[in-house]
Structure formats: structure tokens, C-alpha cells
Structure 1
Amino acid sequence: MQEIKSEVISKKEYLSDSAINNYLNELSNEVIEGDVKSLLLVPPDYTRKSSSLGLITEKLYFKLKDRVENIDILPASGTHDPMSKQAIKSMFGKIPPEDFLEHNWRHDTIKVGEIPSRKMKEFSQDQLNDAVPLEINKNIFSEKYDLIISLGQVIPHEVVGMANYTKNIVVGCGGSQIINKSHFLGALAGMENIMGKDHSPVRKLYDYCQKEFLDQLPILYLMSVNSSISDKKTGLTKIKGIFTGSDRDSFEKAVAASQKENIINIRKQPKKIVVFLKEDKFKSTWIGAKAIYRTRMAVADG
């Protein structure tokens, strides 16, 4: 199918509902022009509900469901718990639960390649020497789908520097080895050294995976940049821009926009930060620790 590449960004405040709707209408038309019969949507899971991408996924689903033969949805849950029917309804609205697939990182992956030891040594500056098998959810490599649309928010991240793009597939739909080893690589690099930056050691690893093992797949990345503050009533953030494409160029544009929108510099470093974690979203220590990751660089030493 013909390459799809587009973007929309608000120069003043945030994108209006009508602007988002118009953008998704144009994107849907391009998908249909590409003669897509079977489509796989890969949105974030409930831990990223605030991204508003549940609503985007719902809109895209209903714009396309009567124009293609099949749509499946595979939330990129990584090692997180599977989404319940209640969580699916809360995040994705009226999409039928039976159209959702579940990512089981222990049992639903297949080996699609291996990152050689020499590359791991390069990415880690000689701190990691073992080759890493790349295992990805079998549905990503299924011949059933003419197009895979990966939806996610680009935002500063403690492991990879800037979240999303290939991370949504490699980790969100990945197996234990690539998840564990890439997170360890991020820890070796140091959160303070990579937070909010592109081209981190982990990003270089994911870029390698894209080039060597994913480039042949019909993956289209739809990436949003959102406000840092969520709405008190809905819990959702507002969308500043949407960047869609299959190459790194679209990701880099989203990174630049997110760095302007989501990196907040404060005049005085606080001695203490109190964080409230919503119990329906932060159900594990693994996820709850983000409260520390995202604030530690702002806290005063001592």
C-alpha cells in the first residue's frame, strides 16, 4: 500500500475535537485507499488511559469497521495485567470486548530474531555481553493483517528517554528477554542521563530491532503529544499534536513537540513531593514506582 505520513498540531492551545475528527477521517480514507481488508490496532493499555488514545482508538475503530472486513485490537500491555472487561469499557467505550486480543508475554510470543552480543556491548558500552532473543506477540507477525496501526503517546520516559514508537511493539507486545534486558540497559545508562532525550542506549536497541526485524511489517505508528496536566473530571490529557508515519522522522517530530510540552523546569527544587496514585490505575509496585521516576530529578538533594 502507499506510504501514509501526516501530522496535525495546534500552534496555540490543544487540538479541538473537530480537528482530531477531521484528521482521523483523512487517515481512515488513506487506509481504505490502501485496500486494507484486515486491520490490527495496537493501542496502550489501561495504565495509559490518561493519554486519550482510548478515545482515538474508539473513533478510528468506528470510522473503519464498516469499511474493512476485520478489525482486532491488541493492547500493548507488556508485563502488565490483562485488561478486564470493565477496564476495556472504561478506556475504549463502545468497542465490543470480543474484538480485543490479549497479550500474554510469557506464552503468546514467537522468536523473530536475536540482537547479537556485539550490538549489546555497543549499546551498553561493554556492560552487557549476552545476545538477546527478540520475541514478539505472534499476532504482529501474522499474515492475517494487511495493516497494523500502533497508537501511543510520546512523552519523557525513565527507561527509553522518550516513550512510544517502536517501544509499543518491542516491549508492549514483547517477550520476557527483550523487556527485562532493555530495562536493565536503561538502568545501567541511568535515568537522569536519558529522561526526556532521544537516542538513548535503549532507543538505539529498539531502533535496531525496527531496522532488522520489523521494517518488513505493515506497521503504521500513530503518535500523540499531550498536555502534562490531566482534566480533573475525565482524568484525560488534551492532545497537542498527532504524528503518523512508518519511519523515524515522524517520531522525531513528536519528540521535539513533547520536549517543549512535557518537560517542566521549576525555579526552586522542593524538598518533598507527595504523590497520589489512583488505585484503579496503579495496581502494582512496578507501575507505582513511576511516581518516583518522574519526580526524582526535581527533588532537592539531601
Structure 2
Amino acid sequence: MLYISEGGINRDISHQEFTDLTKKALNMLSERRKVLILPPDYSRIASQAGVAALAAYKFYGSAVTDILPATGTHIPMTPEEINRMYPGLPQNLFRTHNWRKDVKTLGRIPADFIREISSSELDFDWPVQVNSLLSDGGHDLILSIGQVVPHEVVGMANHNKNLFVGTGGVEAINKSHYIGAVHGLEKLMGQIDTPVRRLFNRAQTDFGKNLPVVYVQTVVAADADGLLKLRGVYIGDDDECFKKAAKLSQQVNITRLPGRMKRITVFLQPDKFRSTWIGNKAIYRSRMAIIDGGELNIIAPGVDRFGEDPGIDALIRKYGYRGTEATVRAVKNNKDLRNSLATAAHLIHSSTEGRFRINFAAGGLSSTEITSAGFNSLDLTAAKNLFKPEEKKAGINLDAEGNEFYLIKNAGIGLWTAED
């Protein structure tokens, strides 16, 4: 059922209106005695999830017993991040998801379905995994909050991805990411109906019916001045809220340039992007707008590691961003990478396939570390002086030498393509 449907390309929904919409939806539900709030982590601070989470906490009071950020493979939120993203929520209610330990398998999607959605490229079954707090916590409401935006694995982020990846386990995350990579990032980015989305929908239909989930879906986009605006709020307990949010996101989060750019520079905010695992959204979200032979400059003052997880970090350092062919070969020949298909998917997504150059300026990685991973190293201070990304507006600019480049200042909330 769709409880709330508010949105439009020019809407500017205030915090108060968002609060009121959330309360209106909760009033439509029957009485709930034990509530789990499932919000995004700090890398999705643009989602404005804190507004809905606080509204729900004030609405239900002591019935809210747990808040579990859907971190997936990401590093757990720090107390400082919680205070900034979720002000007013008690720290003692926050739980940490450990994707290697804290999961329960609800069932398995058969291999014939995986063959079907992967065009017979893959032949394995898939475990429907969630944090055991969802399945065994005794909650009569799981309030899943998050932002719908183009995504490199599932096409459009959020909805049941919050369950099966945000609180998923190793096998589920590895295999679902690899399904997306085999299908092809550029074919699924910004699409609503994708192989991985079909997988998650099947999982919810077959094994998630007993999870008392209500989804709060937001659509956020930057205005002409770069200010983030809440364009849509959709709340419901089925996929209609997601589809409506996704259609609006396609309108406001996808920038269609008249032609491919020769030079694109992406600035990654240091408080949000501390690893290439998350920071390589700079590549995923811009690659379809770069001309063959062009260059992508990534300015990442906060990046000091490759993986969010020590094991993944080691694998990225070992295999590097070498392209699809090399990665698929490495998966075939090496058990460690074969057992970490999410890493393999990330390596594929982050590779240029020789089509353009990537120059990477990282605040906490050495030049040797950058080049060993397969990127060109860019001096951070020199890059800041040349492009001045924090001073300029997003869009077409001139660098300090008078050369044109296209600047992206918030890669996490959009997708850039070109009308070839």
C-alpha cells in the first residue's frame, strides 16, 4: 500500500513537511509495540534520513528499541557521524551490522533463476540474507529509510536493497554485486528494472513476506547553486513507493550532457569518502559522459584506503583496477578473489577498459599505492590549485591554465550521461 506520494521536479520539501508526512504515514499503521529503524549510513547523509528517523522516534517513543544503519560492507558509523546525521536520536539505540557474522539466511533463490536473469552467464543459487535482528528481533515494524538514486549494482538504489545488501551477508553481497557486474554497469545504471532488482524482488516475495517492512523513500537533487533539495517523499509497504521515487529520480538525478566531455573532474567530500570502495562512485557515475581518450580527474582529500574492509582492501591492492578481462581471468584462477565476488565487481566497475585515463589525487594514499592499483597518481595540492573544486560551481569551468573541464561536486547523488 502507498501511504504517501509527494514529489515533483521543482518541489522543495522542508524538514517540517517531511516530518509531517512521516507522521501522517505512521498514523495510518496499526499500533506497533517494537520498532526497528533501518536508516542509511553516513555516506548517504544527503538522503535526509535523519528527519524521518527522528520523526519516527518521537512518534513511537520507547517502542523504538533498535536503530540499525544499513552499512552493508561499509565501516560502522562513528559516534560523531551519528550525532551529525541523526541528531536527537539516543546513541544507545544504535546497533552495528557485521556483514561477516550477524546474518541469517532466510532461504535460497535457485540457480535457474540466476541463469535466467544473467542470460545464462552465471550458474549459482543465491542466499536471501538479512541481519538476524530483522528476522529474530521480534519487531512488529521495520522502518526502512533511504534515498532512491542511480546505483552501479542494482540500477536505482534503495527499497529492498536496504534489506538484502544493507544488512546482507558475505555470500549474498558478493554474488549480487557480481550479477550486476556481469550484466554491465553502463546497461543498468539509472534503470528501474534490472537483473539485481529482480533478484531482490524475488527474495522479498519468496522469503521476506513476514518482515514487517515499511519503506520511506526520498529523492534528493542539487539545485542550480549546488544546494540539496528534497524533491520527493514516498512511503509504503510494497514496491509502488520505490517505483514512484525511482521515476522522479530519473528526472532529477540524471544529467544528460549534449556530448561527451574531454575532461571531467570529480571532487569527493573528505568526510563522506574515505576509501576507493565508496569514492569510486566518481568513476561509475561519470564514465558514460567521458569521451574516448578523455580523462577523469578525481580529487579525494579524505581517501586513505582502498577497501572499507581489511580483506577487501588487500584484494584491491593485490589485483588492482585492470579491466574486465583481467578481473574475470583472476576470478577464474584465484580462489581468494573468487570468494570475494563483490571485490571483483568493484574492480570491473572501476576500470576504464582503456577508454579514458583516470588521474587520482588521494589525501592518504601514496603515489606508489595509487599507481600500483592501476590509476595515474595526481598530486593533491597541485590538483586543488589547478581545478579549485571547492571554489567553483558544478558544470563547465576553466582551470588555472585556462583549459575547460566539467566539474562534478556531488557524485553520490547523480549520474552523468551524454546524448551521443
Whether the TM-score (by the shorter chain) exceeds 0.5 is yes
Q: CA deviation at 1:219?
A: 0.6
Instruction: State yes or no: 1:106 paired with 2:100.
Output: yes
Moved more, 56-65 or 155-164: 56-65
Alignment of 1:123-138 (within 5 A): 123-138=117-132
Q: CA deviation at 1:88?
A: 0.7
Match of 1:86 in 2: 80
Match of 2:369 in 1: none
Alignment of 1:42-57 (within 5 A): 42-57=38-53
Deviations 1:22-61 (A, max 9, x none): 2122123234xx1101100100001101111123212322
Instruction: State yes or no: 1:115 paired with 2:113.
Output: no
Q: CA deviation at 1:230?
A: 9.9
Q: How far apart, CA to CA, are the structure 2 residues paired with 1:12 and 1:285?
A: 33
Match of 2:56 in 1: 60
Identify the structure with bigger relative contact order (alpha carbons < 8 Å, sequence gap 6+). 1
Q: CA deviation at 1:260?
A: 1.0
Given that 2:218 and 2:230 are in contact with CA atoms closer than 8 Å, whether structure 1 keeps it comes out as yes
Deviations 1:75-113 (A, max 9, x none): 000000111111111110121110111100011001111
- Normalised by the length of structure 2, the TM-score is 0.67
Q: CA deviation at 1:11?
A: 6.2
| 1:145 counterpart (139, 145, 159) | 139
Q: How far apart, CA to CA, are the structure 2 residues paired with 1:115 and 1:147?
A: 25
Given that 2:103 and 2:169 are in contact with CA atoms closer than 8 Å, whether structure 1 keeps it comes out as yes
Q: How far apart, CA to CA, are the structure 2 residues paired with 1:75 and 1:161?
A: 21
Q: Identity over the aligned pairs, expressed in percent?
A: 40
Secondary structure in structure 2 of the residue aligned to 1:280: coil
Match of 2:256 in 1: 265
Q: How far apart, CA to CA, are the structure 1 residues paired with 2:272 and 2:9?
A: 31
Q: CA deviation at 1:198?
A: 1.1
Instruction: State yes or no: 1:219 paired with 2:222.
Output: no
Aligned residues: 293
Q: CA deviation at 1:148?
A: 0.5
Match of 1:240 in 2: 231
Q: CA deviation at 1:143?
A: 4.7
Q: CA deviation at 1:196?
A: 0.6
Match of 1:289 in 2: 280
Q: CA deviation at 1:280?
A: 1.9
Q: CA deviation at 1:284?
A: 1.3
Q: How far apart, CA to CA, are the structure 1 residues paired with 2:225 and 2:25?
A: 27
State the Cα RMSD in Å: 1.8
- Cα pair distance change 1:209/1:230, threshold 3 Å: farther
Instruction: State yes or no: 1:7 paired with 2:5.
Output: yes
| 2:22 counterpart (21, 24, 44) | 24
Match of 2:357 in 1: none
- Cα pair distance change 1:85/1:285, threshold 3 Å: same
Q: How far apart, CA to CA, are the structure 2 residues paired with 1:47 and 1:138?
A: 23
Instruction: State yes or no: 1:41 paired with 2:24.
Output: no
Match of 2:164 in 1: 170
Secondary structure in structure 1 of the residue aligned to 2:95: coil
- Cα pair distance change 1:231/1:105, threshold 3 Å: farther
Given that 1:230 and 1:238 are in contact with CA atoms closer than 8 Å, whether structure 2 keeps it comes out as no
Deviations 1:265-287 (A, max 9, x none): 11232111111112221111110
Given that 1:162 and 1:195 are in contact with CA atoms closer than 8 Å, whether structure 2 keeps it comes out as yes
Q: How far apart, CA to CA, are the structure 2 residues paired with 1:133 and 1:27?
A: 32
Q: How far apart, CA to CA, are the structure 2 residues paired with 1:230 and 1:51?
A: 18
Match of 2:380 in 1: none
- Cα pair distance change 1:230/1:114, threshold 3 Å: farther
Alignment of 1:194-233 (within 5 A): 194-228=188-222
Secondary structure in structure 1 of the residue aligned to 2:134: coil
Structure 2 gap ranges (5+): 294-420
Flag the structure with higher strand content. 2
Deviations 1:107-126 (A, max 9, x none): 10011111111111111111
Q: How far apart, CA to CA, are the structure 2 residues paired with 1:108 and 1:43?
A: 17
Q: How far apart, CA to CA, are the structure 2 residues paired with 1:171 and 1:273?
A: 30
Moved more, 119-128 or 20-29: 20-29
